[in-house]
């Protein structure tokens, strides 16, 4: 576990990398397809090697003394993501790297699949996608309609579509959730290349986090081999839907950190752009500062709890609720305090304002997070210490 002193050093190094993202944030927001032109920048290089285990050729994203950090623990990820989002959340989400897929690869893949997945990033910057959401079913894993069925000639056939998939149109490979039967045990997670025949991807036009280029994916009779099925060496109860739950528990603190980074950026920007405040406004800013600090503590505690026990996701849900609200309120407050026309006169604030409203829909809406918290409460899993 990373110590408090080393966490501060780690945080500062990530903040410096985040500033590199901010330099290109507005350009990427205007033309997301140009992100690939910036792969030589330190921030994109770091994102590309983040979360690659050393045994598969990964290089540390930060070295502090004799210790090396790869972004593999939840506490490392949330610390890094907050500072990278402080630089620019949309561009960070659009960066090459293992991203969400890396979590489930680490949880479910066998050594051969891990080698195939991680080796891509060692050769050149590579993008991935995580395809769960669908046009009619959203992210309800038990109701997805994308199907995988036996091919008479051997192997399997994948057919269906996915919607709102980050980096889908620029990815080299990704994970696809598909049904073999309408039960939780019938869900399979497939590792596939986008060069496969029958794969299609179209970017969607969005208002916020434009750098991630949310996409509509289609699978028209894609040929799937057995070695593409994640968790093939595990029992059915430990793959598929189980893998999705583990990923969501581990990624929710990261989504919360995205919101916190944007909220902190808006707060600091406001203080830099406006110096005079009325007493009531001072009090409002003090409350916001306290909420930023409290939310940061909650998110990091949630991350450490998940590192200790990956099944304890209720604190991550609480952190996601708080951070999502905070991002929206902080950007709104900054826009109000900077006066009429602020979103026109301050392009960065305009971008953060739009980006902040996307986090509600990532890794489950507030209502879903509240259900998670309630389930932890009624089953006695909450720790009040």
Q: Which residues contact 111 (CB under 8 A, 6 or more apart)?
A: none
pLDDT of 333-352, one tens digit each? 999 999 999 999 999 999 99
Asked if residue 110 lies in contact with residue 227, where contact means CB atoms within 8 angstroms, the answer is no
pLDDT of 119-172, one tens digit each? 999 999 999 999 999 998 777 767 789 999 999 888 899 999 999 999 999 999
Any idea what the Cα angle at residue 221 is, between residues 219 and 225, rounded to 5°? 100
- Name the residue among 247, 218, 226 with its Cα closest to residue 141: 247
pLDDT of 11-29, one tens digit each? 999 999 999 999 999 999 9
What is the distance between the alpha carbons of residues 126 and 29, in angstroms, rounded to a whole number? 20
Q: Which residues contact 44 (CB under 8 A, 6 or more apart)?
A: 35, 38, 95, 96, 125
- Name the residue among 309, 331, 207 with its Cα closest to residue 258: 331
What is the distance between the alpha carbons of residues 117 and 173, in angstroms, rounded to a whole number? 8
Residue 385 has pLDDT above 50, yes or no: no
pLDDT of 278-328, one tens digit each? 999 999 999 999 999 999 999 999 999 999 987 788 999 999 999 999 999
Asked if residue 349 lies in contact with residue 338, where contact means CB atoms within 8 angstroms, the answer is yes
- The percent of residues above 70 in pLDDT, for the chain, comes to 96
Asked if residue 149 lies in contact with residue 186, where contact means CB atoms within 8 angstroms, the answer is no
Bridge pairing between strands 67-69 and 62-64: antiparallel
Mean pLDDT of the chain: 93
């Amino acid at each position: 576990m990373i110590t408090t002193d080393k966490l501060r050093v780690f945080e500062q190094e990530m903040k410096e990398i985040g500033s590199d993202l901010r330099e290109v944030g507005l350009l990427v927001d205007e033309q997301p397809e140009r992100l690939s032109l910036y792969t030589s920048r330190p921030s994109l290089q770091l994102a590309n090697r983040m979360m690659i285990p050393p045994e598969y050729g990964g290089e540390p994203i930060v070295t502090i003394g004799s210790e090396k950090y790869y972004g593999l623990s939840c506490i490392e990820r949330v610390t890094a993501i907050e500072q990278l989002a402080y630089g620019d959340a949309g561009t960070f989400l659009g960066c090459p790297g293992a991203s969400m897929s890396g979590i489930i690869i680490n949880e479910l893949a066998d050594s051969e699949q891990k080698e195939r997945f991680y080796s891509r990033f060692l050769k050149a910057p590579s993008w991935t996608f995580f395809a769960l959401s669908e046009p009619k079913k959203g992210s309800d894993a038990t109701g997805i309609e994308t199907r995988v069925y036996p091919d008479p000639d051997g192997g399997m056939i994948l057919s269906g579509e996915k919607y709102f998939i980050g980096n889908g149109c620029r990815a080299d490979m990704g994970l696809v959730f598909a049904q073999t039967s309408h039960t939780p045990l019938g869900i399979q997670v497939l590792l596939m290349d986008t060069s496969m025949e029958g794969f299609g991807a179209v970017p969607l036009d969005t208002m916020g986090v434009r750098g991630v280029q949310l996409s509509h994916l289609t699978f028209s009779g894609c040929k799937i081999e057995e070695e593409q099925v994640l968790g093939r060496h595990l029992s059915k109860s430990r793959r598929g839907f189980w893998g999705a739950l583990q990923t969501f528990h581990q990624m929710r603190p990261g989504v919360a950190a995205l919101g916190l980074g944007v909220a902190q950026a808006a707060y600091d920007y406001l203080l830099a752009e406006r110096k005079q405040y009325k007493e009531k406004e001072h009090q409002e800013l003090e409350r916001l500062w306290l909420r930023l600090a409290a939310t940061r503590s909650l998110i990091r505690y949630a991350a450490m709890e998940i590192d200790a026990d990956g099944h304890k996701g209720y604190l991550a849900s609480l952190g996601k609720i708080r951070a999502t609200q905070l991002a929206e309120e902080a950007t709104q407050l900054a826009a109000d305090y900077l006066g009429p026309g602020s979103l026109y006169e301050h392009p960065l604030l305009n971008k953060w304002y739009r980006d902040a409203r996307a986090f509600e829909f990532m890794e489950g809406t507030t209502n879903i997070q509240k259900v998670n918290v309630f389930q932890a409460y009624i089953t006695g899993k909450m720790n009040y210490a």
